[in-house]
Amino acid sequence: MKLLTWNVNGIRAIQKKGFNEAIEEIGADFVCLQETKAQPEQIDVDGLYPYVYMNSAVRKGYSGTLIMTNREPLSVRYGIGCQEHDQEGRVITLEYDSYYVVTVYTPNAGEELRRLDYRIAWDKAFGAFVAALDKPVLLCGDLNVANTNLDVYDPLTLAGSTGFTNEERLGFRRHLLSQLTDAYRLVHPKERKYSWWSYFDRAREKGWGWRIDYWLVSPSLESKVEEVEILDGVGGSDHCPVLLDIDLND
């Protein structure tokens, strides 16, 4: 089974850059998108997958998540059941017989870390939501944090930057990595590869990247992970897709 995660930085914009063709070529069983930046009536993905689930922000043109799949879920949840955190369309959870698929677009701490306190509160609330799920979890998305020095191009210079503060890294480890496994690091423990590049100063061309897009899996699923690929040759967004290949039969 193949599952794809991708921060598309605007579904309407990326569809003008070969998105549909890329999705068809990859042929994943699940396609999980973040930062769709659109309301449901503005999103047209007809013909790609039979089951499509969208969670849009109250604020138009902002945030948003979407899952497309060829597998009908038992149930669908939008958000984490907390009004404070469910206004921005950041989470979708699909339930199956033996697992959950969760996609998340984690809040950014913002310019000059203005939203860091909210980010810390989010990490705690979202971690509690995941911990309450009663089956193994496959969780993906733009988690807006680089966990280790291997996950940024210049850890010394970037230390303390948004997405690489001690508070964000600790929150990620305490609330998610305490219960789930980073599938990419499971397969590639020493590899330095990135999933996001700033649009400024030709960062992608120069290799100035960050790994902030993840697949996390429950420990019981670790032995079933076959590969995790960062598809950094796929363009159209400032993020690239990340593909999980896992031997999982529902």
pLDDT tens, residue by residue, 149-195: 999 999 999 999 999 999 999 999 999 999 999 999 999 999 999 99
Active site residue 201: no
Token pair, residue 195, equals 């999933």
- Return the CATH fold of 2-246: Deoxyribonuclease I; Chain A (3.60.10)
Please give the pLDDT value at position 98. Answer: 97
Please give the pLDDT value at position 249. Answer: 73
Q: Tell me: the pLDDT tens digits for 66-82?
A: 999 999 999 999 999 99
Active site residue 153: no
Please give the pLDDT value at position 102. Answer: 99
| Residue in 123, 142, 232, 245 annotated catalytic | 142
Instruction: Look at residue 250 and tell me whether its pLDDT is greater than 70.
Output: no
Q: Tell me: the pLDDT tens digits for 29-86?
A: 999 999 999 999 999 999 999 999 999 999 999 999 999 999 999 999 999 999 999 9
- Residue ranges of domains in the chain: 2-246
- Residue-averaged pLDDT of the chain: 97
Instruction: Look at residue 233 and tell me whether its pLDDT is greater than 70.
Output: yes
Q: Tell me: the pLDDT tens digits for 195-221?
A: 999 999 999 999 999 999 999 999 999
Instruction: Look at residue 143 and tell me whether its pLDDT is greater than 90.
Output: yes
Please give the pLDDT value at position 101. Answer: 98
Burial 56-79 (b: 16+ CB within 10 A, else e): bbeeeeebbbbbbbeeebeeebbb
The mean pLDDT of 108-122, rounded to a whole number, is: 96
| Residue in 96, 99, 105, 214 annotated catalytic | 105
The answer to whether the predicted template modeling score (pTM) of the entire model surpasses 0.85 is yes
The mean pLDDT of 115-122, rounded to a whole number, is: 97
CA angle in degrees (0–180, nearest 5) for 75-248-24: 80
